[in-house]
Amino acid sequence: MRSISSFSRGRTRERGFVLAAALIIAILYFALMELLLMDSARAMHEAQRYRSRVIADALAENGAELAAAQLITNPGGDVKANNSQGEMSGSLKRVGNSFLLTGDGSATGVPTATAHVELHGTTEGTNVTIVFATHDP
């Protein structure tokens, strides 16, 4: 009879060990899932910020292009426009044959972003030359 009771106690210890191991594995699994969710949320926020910066830069360039439309015919001026992505503005300043085009863009959305573009150049008749450009986020 003693051998049967000791055998039963040994099986109980094994069951307890298996149960503890299963609980530890479950806790580690759920901790890993939580880490993956946190990492995916961080990556999504980074992607949203990048998208806003790209849109703001494109809007700033569009604002400079709107101002450039008056490059040959007008001595200078300001333009403003907006669309579903955000607002853009541009200005043209001329001194002799030199000009300065500036464009500003502001992206709307959850993470907002702004950008600024400057184009320095010269004109000779209807020939337009861009000397250099700067982009600021």
> What pTM did the predictor assign?
0.74
> What is the reported pLDDT for 1?
47
**Residue 1 carries which DSSP code?**
-
| pLDDT (tens digit per residue) in 63-115 | 999 998 887 777 778 999 999 999 999 999 988 889 999 999 999 988 999 99
Tokens of 96: 């002799």
End-to-end CA distance of the chain: 83
